[in-house]
Structure 1
């Protein structure tokens, strides 16, 4: 799988404050990556370093397998890491044409990218008349003008109303479906869970988790069980091998293990002990539950 961006042991210090600590990440072509963490976790600093606007303290990163210098590689990158900044008295089309002129891009891309972000009907409207959500969508169109191989977004839905958030998420999904790799930083669990395939969780500059979103939210070692006699059920479950914890939650017994629990095997064990269940399912933790667990234990 083609590597778009490789980050190894990245560190950034601001005096005594270590904003980024030994961060490593591989971005592969065609995926949607989320850098998730509360404000001050090092998300924006990490993006600033790889975009060459923040100097790293130590560590390394390379674009496109290290085949080109950062300056040349960034020509294949689209990024929004600050609030949209266009001329308020110019129209959407005029602003994007100016970007094309500066970057040497054909003007034909303007119409195409306005279509992608749903602003083609407002192409002749002045930027100052746009809502915050529309301004953000125009910024995305601007970042797409050079047909980047990767689009980097820092808190793309920050400050938007629910409709604006929904529109930005739909645009991200559309761009990803067209084959563009996406890397976005967010403190919103819901945002990452809905649009990303992979996630890096940061807290105080340190990695707590890196992998797929599905892998983070899955939990093979957690099973919900119910029966008519909860107390007897709990006593019987204590005899089952490799159980780490047993607790009651909303009338259900939650069984946790560090290894996979097969519901069929557990049910067989309970039947052999004359326990007949009324409810038995594997349980997947939500991304929110997993995130809270990670940040609480570090």
Structure 2
């Protein structure tokens, strides 16, 4: 699989503050990667470093297996790391013509990219008349003008209303389905779960997890249980090697599975041990629950 970006032991310090600490991960072609973390976790700083707008303190990164310089590599990158910045009195088409001049791209690309983001019919409207969501989509069109191999987005749905958020997420999926690798930074768990195939979880500049989203939430799940024989049930679960942990809140017992087990098998196991249940629900841990588990470790 072709490697787009490799980051090794990257560190960035601002005086006494360490914004990124010994960070390593790899981005391969054809996936949608999310850098997930709360505000101040180092997401934007990491993007700034690989885009050559922030100087690293130590560590290294390389684009396209290190086959080209960072300057040359960035010609194959499209990025939006700040709020869309266009001339308000000019139309969308006129603004993109300026971007084409700067990037050395033929004007014929403009209509093509406006069509992708759903703004072709509004190309002659002034930027000042665009909604926030339309402005964000125009920025994405601008970033796509040079047919980048990777598109980098920093908090792409920030400040948008629900309709705007849905439009941007749908657009990201569409662009990715056509072969463009995408790297986005977000503090929204819902965004990463719905859009990304891979995730890097950061907190205070440190990596807590890196891998596929579906593998992060591929725990065997947990049972929510109630029984009139509460003490016997709790004792049985705590001494059973099939469970990682057991949590009690009032009458409700939550038992986290170490191995796969369906509800019917589990119910029979308890019945055979003289325990009957008044409540049995099997659930899967969400990305949010996994994220909270990870961030609670720091």
TM-score grouping bracket, smaller chain normalisation: over 0.9
Runs of 4+ deviating beyond 6 Å = none
CA contact (8 A) 2:32 2:197 kept: yes
Between 278-287 and 44-53, report the one with greater CA deviation: 278-287
Q: Give the structure 2 partner of residue 177 of structure 1.
A: 177
Any conservation in 1 of the 2:154–2:186 contact (CA below 8 Å)? yes
Q: Which ranges of structure 2 fall in alignment gaps of 5 or more residues?
A: none
Contact 2:242 2:259 in 1 (8 A): no
Equivalent residue number for residue 202 of structure 1 = 202
Instruction: State the partner residue of 2:68.
Output: 68
Relative distance call for 1:179 and 1:235 in structure 2 (3 A) is same
Contact 1:221 1:260 in 2 (8 A): no
Q: Structure 2 length as normaliser, TM-score?
A: 0.93
> Secondary structure, in 3 states, of the residue corresponding to 1:98?
helix
Hey, what does 1:160 align to over in structure 2?
A: 160
Contact kept, 8 Å, 1:224 with 1:281, in 2: the verdict is yes
Does residue 9 of the first structure (1) align with residue 4 of the second (2)?
A: no
Matched pairs, number: 297
Give, in angstroms, the shift of residue 130 of structure 1.
Answer: 1.1
Instruction: Compute the TM-score of the two structures, normalised by the length of structure 1.
Output: 0.93
1:250 deviation in Å?
A: 8.3
Indicate the residue corresponding to 2:285 in structure 1: 285
Q: Once superposed, what is the RMSD of the aligned Cα atoms?
A: 2.0
Distance in 1 (CA, whole Å) between partners of 2:86 and 2:255 is: 55
1:262 is aligned to 2:261: yes
Q: Deviations over 1:18-42 (max 9, x none)?
A: 1100111110111100001111111
Q: Distance in 1 between matches of 2:183 and 2:128?
A: 28
| Structure 1 residue 283 displacement after superposition | 2.9
CA distance in 1, matches of 2:287, 2:67: 36
- Contact 1:151 1:183 survives alignment (8 Å): yes
Are 2:241 and 1:241 equivalent residues in the alignment? yes
Q: Which blocks of at least 5 consecutive residues in structure 1 are unaligned?
A: none
Q: Distance in 2 between matches of 1:249 and 1:77?
A: 50
Helix, strand or coil: the match of 1:128? Answer: helix
